[in-house]
Amino acid sequence: MTEKAEDKDLLQPVTGETKEAACQVILGTTHASLATISAKNGVPACSRIGLALDSTGMPVFLTSSLSSHSAALEADPRASMLIGEVGNGDPLAHARISISGTVEKVTEASDRDQVRAAYLARHPKAKLYVDFADFGFWRLRPEYAGYVEGFGRAYALTQEDLADMALQMATETAA
Amino acid sequence: MTEKAEDKDLLQPVTGETKEAACQVILGTTHASLATISAKNGVPACSRIGLALDSTGMPVFLTSSLSSHSAALEADPRASMLIGEVGNGDPLAHARISISGTVEKVTEASDRDQVRAAYLARHPKAKLYVDFADFGFWRLRPEYAGYVEGFGRAYALTQEDLADMALQMATETAA
């Protein structure tokens, strides 16, 4: 009974508590799985990224321009990010969120500075490679998400819900 | 320096040790992230699945026909599976494998019996829902994979490499 965000009948109503819980899933981890569409042959591709949140609470990540997920995103900016730690027992009993949206490159200097600082705060070891010439940051602009708390507890989050969550996470991260 | 399986120059040569290490990554976890292409709008989607290996060492998983990833796979069987636990420190320093291929439904009764047994052996709690009418098994037929052991240690695995690994994993699982 997972990821049924497209099936309205089976979804639970989204409350402030739902959004708060979904924020904690995102704040509680340092990585995500990224689904992209391969630039080469149009097939789906899944890769691991290091995850951080910028000063506005948007997901940001770092890739090498030599990587195939960079090539995929250059060709097609649509992406989905699966976020959530897996504990003991049934992996489907643990909360996770799949955020769909469009990525953009972080290019402007002051924007890069704040994203870099946020990323390094969450990934101190990335200072070894963050400034390599082939590395660059991306931001995901969330459009909708499926949030699954466990069996029979699935929610569809709208762009407005995700904007509320970004604000809340930016505040929590800055505090 | 991740997932650069499409960039031959940066790849390390694949040895028996590489394949053995990649097998251990797959055998060492019970879940995967699945990238599919949405049936609704063609966007990539990423979701969590419970992972097991059938008697031939192929990845198998269970979905509800009510889920959006089932709908995606019904419409387009191409998928990518990211497998690998994340430990402490930089999430990109931990080994993972992204297996690309095509899924097929497990329909034939004796096939379903062996897949069900393999899945329940790895996911005993799934006995609560495995026989629900809307649940069914899928098998991924691997075509190629990117295996990343850590920074600067990336490998492209061919269909032949993956067939070798399946045989090895089937033997280890049966032992």
From start to end of chain A, where are the E strands?
31-37, 44-50, 52-53, 59-64, 78-83, 96-105, 135-150, 153-157
CATH code, domain with B152: 2.30.110.10
* Amino acid, single-letter form, for residue B50: G
Give the mean pLDDT of B140-144. 98
Inter-chain residue contact A98 with B47, CB threshold 8 Å: yes
Nearest to A2 among B5, B47, B146 (CB): B47
Looking at the complex, does the CB of residue A10 fall below 8 Å from at least one CB of chain B?
yes
Is residue B5 in a domain?
Answer: no
Inter-chain residue contact A48 with B81, CB threshold 8 Å: no
Which residue on chain A is closest to B96 by alpha carbon? A48
Neighbours of B65 (CB within 10 A): 13
Q: How many domains does chain B have?
A: 1
Looking at the complex, does the CB of residue A46 fall below 8 Å from at least one CB of chain B?
yes
- The torsion angles phi and psi of A13, rounded to 5 degrees, stand at -70, 140
Say if residues A103 and A80 touch (Cβ distance below 8 Å). Answer: no
Neighbours of A99 (CB within 10 A): 25
ipTM above 0.90, yes or no: yes
Q: What is the pLDDT of residues B62-100, one digit of tens each?
A: 999 988 899 999 999 999 999 999 988 899 999 999 999
List Cβ neighbours of B61 (8 Å cut-off, separation of 6 or more): B32, B34, B49, B50, B51, B52, B119, B137, B138, B140
CA of A172 to nearest chain B CA: how many angstroms apart? 22
Q: What six digits make up the tokens of B70?
A: 């089932």
**Distance separating alpha carbons of residues A107 and A113, to the nearest angstrom:** 10
Inter-chain residue contact A35 with B44, CB threshold 8 Å: yes
**Model confidence band, residue A8 (pLDDT cutoffs 50, 70, 90):** very low
Is residue A4 in a domain?
Answer: no
Is residue A148 in a domain?
Answer: yes
Q: What is the pLDDT of residue A33?
A: 98
Q: What is the pLDDT of residue B9?
A: 55
> Which domain, by its residues, includes A44?
12-86+94-174
Percentage of chain B lying above the pLDDT 90 cut: 83
Q: What is the pLDDT of residue B93?
A: 92
CA of B151 to nearest chain A CA: how many angstroms apart? 10
Give the mean pLDDT of B143-149. 96
Nearest to B2 among A7, A48, A123 (CB): A48
Looking at the complex, does the CB of residue A77 fall below 8 Å from at least one CB of chain B?
no
- Overall pTM surpassing 0.90 (yes/no): yes
**Model confidence band, residue B1 (pLDDT cutoffs 50, 70, 90):** very low
Is residue B107 in a domain?
Answer: yes
Is residue B7 in a domain?
Answer: no
> Which residue carries 């949206």 as its tokens?
A101
Does residue A140 have a pLDDT over 70?
yes
C-alpha dihedral, A130 to A134 to A136 to A138, nearest 10°: -130
List Cβ neighbours of A116 (8 Å cut-off, separation of 6 or more): A130, A137
**B80-139 residues touching A, CB cutoff 8 A:** 80-82, 84, 86, 89-93, 96, 98, 100, 123, 125-126, 129
**Distance separating alpha carbons of residues A160 and A66, to the nearest angstrom:** 35
DSSP calls for B124-164:
GGGGGTTTSTTEEEEEEEEEEEEEEEETTEEEEEPHHHHHH
Q: What's the distance, CA A123 to chain centroid?
A: 15
CA of B72 to nearest chain A CA: how many angstroms apart? 11
Interface test with B, best of A48, A129, A141, A151 (most B CBs within 10 A): A48
Percentage of chain A lying above the pLDDT 90 cut: 83
Write out chain A residues lying below 8 Å of B63, CB-based: 2
Is residue B167 in a domain?
Answer: yes
| Greater model confidence, B126 or A87 | B126
Is residue A6 in a domain?
Answer: no
Give the mean pLDDT of B8-36. 93
**Distance separating alpha carbons of residues B43 and B45, to the nearest angstrom:** 6
> Which residue carries 């965000």 as its tokens?
A5
Is residue A99 in a domain?
Answer: yes
Interface test with B, best of A7, A33, A49, A51 (most B CBs within 10 A): A33
Does residue A149 have a pLDDT over 80?
yes
Q: What six digits make up the tokens of B11?
A: 């790849």
Give the mean pLDDT of A28-50. 93
Does residue B2 have a pLDDT over 50?
no
Q: What is the pLDDT of residue B34?
A: 98
